[in-house]
Amino acid sequence: MLSAVRCLHQSSSLLQQVQKGAPAKAGSPPKSPSAPRPAKPAATPQQKKPTASSVTSASVTPAKTDAATSAPTDSATTTTTTTTTTSSEVATEDGKPAQKTLKERAKELWATAKYLFKFYFNGVKQIWANRNRVAEIQQRVAGGGAPLSREEAQLIRVHRADMRKLPLFLTILLILEEALPLVVIWAPSLLPSTCILPNQLLKIRMKEEVARAAAYKKLCEVEEVKALLPVVSGTGQNLRLAQPHKDADDEVLAKIKGETLVQLAKLFSLSTWGGAAMTRRRLVEHLKYIRSDDEMMCEGGGYQFIPQNAEAVAKACSERGLRATEVPQKEMYDTLRTWLLYTTRSPATSRSLSTSSLALLPLQLYNPRSIQEIEASLAAESGRGLMEKTKDVLNEVVETEKKVLERDQKTDDEIQQKAKEAQAARK
């Protein structure tokens, strides 16, 4: 894409040089870029002299444009520009969008390329800023300082994932920049979290939701899984683990093999490559992280550390195999509270709930309602052309970066205003 922009930029420069060409020799008419036109009707008296007014009025009378072309070189340049404007104006009056010149398109693409590069460059800078922040947190905890908070633990986890993606992303950004739009559209999972647009994140969640719903449906039809449900029975003070999960250990997960294990990994949006052994190991590690995160959310004996932001709640639900798309935030919050009640808050269930039993808990709490709407939305998106998708990505990058620039400018203006007020108060 950037290479195309460079070519267009060079073409624009060449066009400017042509338009600024040297004056023609005295007494010789300007060269016409096209074949001679057929003879036109005689010009009106007002057209005998190619004055500035006659050239300007070319947007109304085509015959005047032809008369103006017989003017000297400087007038010819002006007439060419006027004729181009004339065609655009006519197109606009007919209700059709005016076609942009090569110079205008080059400028627009060049500005878009700068916004695009700046957006992803700022994302890389944020990764390095997070790196310094993570190092400070780890030094504090290692030195016996304040314990790790959930927000800090999430930052460390996300930063580690970003650092794993950074080498390949930088290679694409600096060497294979033409492939960047394709990566954004077809492989957004390769992007660091600081370089993902809001609409991209929503589409990623929607795809995960469709895969999760399909896995939920298949798992609920497997006999060996049916025998292990529900995980928790009863309500209120009568909560208790179901019989298959009482005093259970990792043998519960060991009984699940083959395609059933793959579907269980998809329920938590985990990768399934590498065979059953790697999938099971990946699933166990993820469930251990969930147990630790649950304890941080319920630190202090309540639910005060449950995230309140809609995006953070959706992320927490998605990590636990719960519904995270096309449902109200309150429903996600309530489902997450129920999850925490079973895994952490209720002594009757949390103390004896094994990590393996935790893997089946989403099947008891998942809401499969209205998945068809998400599927229809994704089907409509997949039917769009690559160029149309690329334009959407570029436009969103430009708008996002403009908002950031406006926010930064507003912050700078506020700081300067406060400084002026403080200086005036001292006087």
* Residues 251 and 356: beta-carbon distance below 8 Å: yes
Clarify whether residues 324 and 232 are in a common domain.
yes
pLDDT digits (tens, 9 = 90+) for 15-40: 455 455 444 444 444 444 444 444 44
What pLDDT score was predicted for residue 248?
59
CA-to-CA dists, residue 113 to 3, 15, 16, 54, 254, angstroms: 10, 20, 21, 40, 51
Give domain status of residue 405, yes or no.
Answer: no
Tokens 């000297």 map to which residue?
Answer: 72
Clarify whether residues 177 and 202 are in a common domain.
no
pLDDT digits (tens, 9 = 90+) for 216-270: 999 999 988 888 888 888 877 678 888 777 765 556 677 777 889 999 999 999 9
pLDDT digits (tens, 9 = 90+) for 316-347: 999 999 999 999 999 999 999 999 999 998 87
Give domain status of residue 261, yes or no.
Answer: yes
- The whole-chain average pLDDT of the chain stands at 77
Clarify whether residues 189 and 262 are in a common domain.
no
More confident residue, 251 or 119: 119
Give domain status of residue 106, yes or no.
Answer: no
Clarify whether residues 162 and 309 are in a common domain.
no
Give domain status of residue 399, yes or no.
Answer: no
What pLDDT score was predicted for residue 59?
38
Give domain status of residue 310, yes or no.
Answer: yes
Clarify whether residues 240 and 374 are in a common domain.
yes
pLDDT digits (tens, 9 = 90+) for 69-91: 333 344 333 333 333 333 334 44
Handedness of CA 317, 321, 324, 329 (dihedral sign): negative
pLDDT digits (tens, 9 = 90+) for 166-208: 999 998 888 877 778 788 888 888 999 999 988 889 999 999 9
Give domain status of residue 21, yes or no.
Answer: no
What pLDDT score was predicted for residue 276?
85
154: domain range?
111-193
Phi and psi at 150, nearest 5°, equal -65, -40
If residue 240 lies in a helix (H) or strand (E), which one and from where to where? strand 240-241
Last residue of a domain, one of 193, 225, 241: 193
Clarify whether residues 145 and 249 are in a common domain.
no
Last residue of a domain, one of 340, 366, 381: 381
Clarify whether residues 254 and 128 are in a common domain.
no
Clarify whether residues 266 and 157 are in a common domain.
no
Clarify whether residues 224 and 359 are in a common domain.
yes
What pLDDT score was predicted for residue 339?
94
Clarify whether residues 316 and 364 are in a common domain.
yes
pLDDT band at 51 (very low <50, low <70, confident <90, very high): very low
Give domain status of residue 327, yes or no.
Answer: yes
Last residue of a domain, one of 158, 193, 228: 193
10 Å CB burial of residue 342 (0-12, 13-18, 19+) is: buried
Clarify whether residues 263 and 365 are in a common domain.
yes
Clarify whether residues 287 and 366 are in a common domain.
yes
Percent of the chain topping pLDDT 90: 32
* Structural domain count of the chain: 2
